[in-house]
Structure 1
């Protein structure tokens, strides 16, 4: 006998997501992913000056503001074939890297860790034993008996007062929780410490971007940061060294806390390296451009099909033909007016056609279903890491090997890159990418300072818009995966605009052929121990780091209480 479980809304994500699963024999047999609101930003920017689109589109999301701004200016620059000054590229790269570090830290500790960490169990921990475990896998200075004793006392005060605060609604005591009390105590301590570290990563974005969220320094043609080492009001060495100091702190946390924590969790949940694979076609964008034209990158992009590392097809530059020609969006199961066929983003339409019902055999989501060469693709850190390993990228391969070795040693097993294609593998890939992005941020800072030292202070090349119609695509390997903005410009005004975002690729519904998207496919086969507490389904969905504000294209004004329905 099957049971239908509805989780609506899924919490600890950005935006509004509903997940439905049918459970048979303690496992998920069918799944549906539903985005439950419509945004309409694409309609808002039509008719506007392309130079201001980035200001609007970064309002798509309250978290992913920077990434949309970046993809937007790249899109317009691609349409114009406009090169930007190398200083502007380095500054953008620093912002991209710092934003990624902030996002990855927040995702693991504050959006996902509580799926694996039993907070209340930490009250049974011996702080001395917890400190010993922490010091055996890391040099982090706050893995001390004093620090862990203080964290345990703070947690005890929460529980005694009956006010767990941020830890209130976890599935504590769930049979799928397996971490020993001491590991749980370490994780709670690091959860609290991460609150401070993520703020420092965001400070870097604010210093360079003017503010965050919604940075202010971008421009089609470069950045608005004036460089003058003798002027306190501009980007000078004092501000650059402030960035460096913050970056050093964040890098230390990533290497000494985040990275070993993910390895430790993976070692204690080896079965979850086998759940949640789903779609095994992968798509990643090249990132950290090293020239003003976007033809050289520190991190590679491309596609892999059917988990085969030998199937790599690279995406080598901004405006790459292989990428441009193969992206379409299917709306057969989404609440939009149907087109005869799936549409390329330059021809894309965002015409809402809500029919007032949720139909598992028809339309059931505000999220479109993107396809690449007709296939569903998984995007995100797993895609980025696998593509980089297949490409022979040194830093990504080095950190991937280290992660597999550390986690394997803790688990007493030999791990291969195949384990990255799983629920916990997505977390492992994200910590690998964070370690690489920390190194890249350090490298970009050095390149920027050295170039300024040569006397180069240029940050902007003025764009000029021709008569007639031009098309551009800007892509960016955002923290959640490949993001692309597609613009059509006619006589200097936006004629059409589409954003195909990471959570659209991953959260999309079935297409016209009935093929599931990555969220849906990844849930099939997952165990469900307690249908009234579907922790296992949340683990897999959270591993993608959903951002439905980005993925959907009006919100129910009545609001909905947190619901888990079992039918």
Structure 2
């Protein structure tokens, strides 16, 4: 291919050494990444590939739309619940169903619980090891670690030298046993790791704390939704009754004791994100102050539908507004309408699907999920053992969504850039405070526009959003209690439960600010059954292959121009890709390597 210039401003050169990372691990699903390096080991071309086919859109055809949430929720076991929420919103939109205020507030608490949990697990258990060397923590001085903790997060109660010494001794026994477990396959000798031992020990300690805390916060889902993962939802509201004077044996899962339990878990989340999570990200980032790579499309094109919906129009600041920013112009925010066929389209020119005419994009209401697996003429290897992909042909199971033809990044960073540009006071204050603390620790003077569009900025935005969600949950809980005290116990609207009340044809769309970005489900209903169902998920936006015009997606763009210390130890590639928290199980549309049907199951 040689050097080509993409319409969205990237110069690609695939003539240099190619490095393949397959699979990309510590993510949900299956992903492959190929990059080309120049003579200085700088990435000059990137090819991102989703390597599995989901097929749920096909499974849903002909089914009852009231059941769709239960199917699509199984798309992913990590972002559990957000697909269900998006689905019931789409069906309710199609059928004109208004849910009770209590149902709205309970859904919001469940969604923000997921958001907080997902962000914390992402950073500590999926992403931190791209920055943190746990083996190096054995060299730390526990007293100096305690001093670092007091400087980074002075309000965390677990910060004594003795506490860090105990954790260090536990870690030492673990390492000396020769069974490193989850820490085994890291590139711990790579000079790309910059933290001093004390910062490594602090981060590993909080890694363990987050393991304990994450299993507590999800109990909110078990109270409101019956279980986790995959809590229960329902079209028209939530499947949990309220009986403030009874106990659970009376058949109502919500009483004052259970609601107070929820309040306590929210408070724990609030304290952890404030005193541990955000300080950790800022402290770790300060040691990587010169590593401002990985921005990609976040520096130019970002998108979100907007969410954290206020109740009945009140608390207008209690939301992150959506929109689209193009070409890095934060002074102009374009609207996005998921109903408009020109706003959201998916292309399959370089995806293993076919539309018949693959040069055209389709709006999700008219979407087609027809697989067409074939390797390009310049690919190397075989269909079942690919050595090198041909990016000039089809090369991914992920489609290519575009806003009016523009590739956009989605995610917490996009939401925060949009909110910052919109002038949302809470977000601007958060960013200003975090950036001030970072600059003080790092000895820099970076502005928001310099720091946010980067791998580090993407990671920081998640931490800030987690704490924002915790604070909003406290408000949602107060509103829920006030509404119940006012005598409102309704949790579901079943006026349109019977399909006989539905129009013969209807279509709707639901959107959610999912942990990885803007999530949309589109549904068409005919004669009481699903005629078409399409999910366009955040990793579809971010992990998309090239479109007919040659625009590259957010994953590929984020890797461009990144220098690598040791190409055979691609920590820089993993660091940036992990910052998106890719969910390939969500984004890809299961079939065998040769494409034949795997199994047919008839349910009686």
List per-residue Cα deviations over 1:352-401 (Å, max 9, x = no partner): 11125442210110000000011001000111101111222222222111
TM-score under structure 2 length normalisation: 0.89
- The residue matched to 1:299 in structure 2 has which SS? coil
**2:486 is equivalent to residue 458 of structure 1:** no
Cα distance in 1 for residues equivalent to 2:63 and 2:469: 34
What does 1:31-430 correspond to in 2, within 5 Å?
A: 31-138=46-153, 139-216=155-232, 218-233=233-248, 234=252, 235-278=254-297, 280-291=300-311, 298-314=319-335, 320=337, 325-340=342-357, 341-355=360-374, 357=383, 358-418=389-449, 419-430=451-462
Structure 1 residues 494 and 104: CA distance shift in structure 2, 3 A: same
Partner of 1:562 in structure 2?
none
List per-residue Cα deviations over 1:226-280 (Å, max 9, x = no partner): 0110121221111110001111111111000000001111111112224433452
1:221 is displaced (CA, Å) by 1.0
Cα distance in 1 for residues equivalent to 2:41 and 2:592: 33
Poorly superposed stretches of 4+, deviation over 4 Å = 292-297, 320-325, 555-558
Cα distance in 2 for residues equivalent to 1:445 and 1:398: 23
- The residue matched to 2:290 in structure 1 has which SS? helix
Cα distance in 2 for residues equivalent to 1:14 and 1:514: 27
Cα distance in 1 for residues equivalent to 2:356 and 2:580: 29
Partner of 1:561 in structure 2?
none
List per-residue Cα deviations over 1:158-206 (Å, max 9, x = no partner): 2211111121111102111100110011011011111011112211122
Cα distance in 2 for residues equivalent to 1:55 and 1:552: 18
Farther-moved stretch of structure 1 (470-479 vs 405-414): 405-414
Structure 1 residues 457 and 323: CA distance shift in structure 2, 3 A: farther
Equivalent residue in structure 2 for 1:12, among 19, 26, 33 = 26
1:304 is displaced (CA, Å) by 1.2
List per-residue Cα deviations over 1:86-137 (Å, max 9, x = no partner): 1100000000111101000000010000000111111111001101110122
List per-residue Cα deviations over 1:544-566 (Å, max 9, x = no partner): 000000000025579xxxxxxxx
Structure 1 residues 405 and 455: CA distance shift in structure 2, 3 A: same
Partner of 1:544 in structure 2?
580
Q: Give the conservation status (yes or no) of the 8 Å contact 1:369–1:509.
A: yes
1:428 is displaced (CA, Å) by 0.8
Structure 1 residues 77 and 325: CA distance shift in structure 2, 3 A: farther
- The residue matched to 2:291 in structure 1 has which SS? helix
1:430 is displaced (CA, Å) by 0.8
Cα distance in 1 for residues equivalent to 2:434 and 2:122: 18
List per-residue Cα deviations over 1:292-347 (Å, max 9, x = no partner): 699966222111112221111345xxxx4676640000000000013421110000
Q: Give the conservation status (yes or no) of the 8 Å contact 2:80–2:114.
A: no
- The residue matched to 1:91 in structure 2 has which SS? helix
Cα distance in 2 for residues equivalent to 1:34 and 1:321: 26
What does 1:462-541 correspond to in 2, within 5 Å?
A: 462=494, 463=496, 465-541=501-577
Unaligned runs of at least 5 residues, structure 1: 559-567
Farther-moved stretch of structure 1 (203-212 vs 183-192): 203-212
Cα distance in 1 for residues equivalent to 2:329 and 2:97: 36
Structure 1 residues 240 and 314: CA distance shift in structure 2, 3 A: farther
How many residue pairs were aligned? Answer: 553
Q: Give the conservation status (yes or no) of the 8 Å contact 1:36–1:555.
A: no
Q: Give the conservation status (yes or no) of the 8 Å contact 1:473–1:487.
A: yes
Cα distance in 1 for residues equivalent to 2:170 and 2:592: 38
- The residue matched to 1:511 in structure 2 has which SS? coil
Structure 1 residues 528 and 74: CA distance shift in structure 2, 3 A: same
Cα distance in 2 for residues equivalent to 1:91 and 1:149: 42
Partner of 1:563 in structure 2?
none
Cα distance in 2 for residues equivalent to 1:98 and 1:469: 35
Cα distance in 2 for residues equivalent to 1:209 and 1:406: 39
Farther-moved stretch of structure 1 (15-24 vs 353-362): 353-362
1:468 is displaced (CA, Å) by 2.7
1:531 is displaced (CA, Å) by 1.3
Q: Give the conservation status (yes or no) of the 8 Å contact 1:227–1:457.
A: yes
Cα distance in 2 for residues equivalent to 1:81 and 1:170: 51
Structure 1 residues 295 and 121: CA distance shift in structure 2, 3 A: closer
Q: Give the conservation status (yes or no) of the 8 Å contact 1:36–1:365.
A: yes
Cα distance in 2 for residues equivalent to 1:48 and 1:177: 51
- The residue matched to 2:245 in structure 1 has which SS? coil
- The residue matched to 1:287 in structure 2 has which SS? coil
Q: Give the conservation status (yes or no) of the 8 Å contact 2:338–2:509.
A: no
Q: Give the conservation status (yes or no) of the 8 Å contact 1:281–1:378.
A: yes
Structure 1 residues 293 and 461: CA distance shift in structure 2, 3 A: farther
1:471 is displaced (CA, Å) by 1.2
Partner of 2:11 in structure 1?
none
Partner of 2:463 in structure 1?
431
Cα distance in 1 for residues equivalent to 2:402 and 2:352: 17
Q: Give the conservation status (yes or no) of the 8 Å contact 1:276–1:526.
A: no
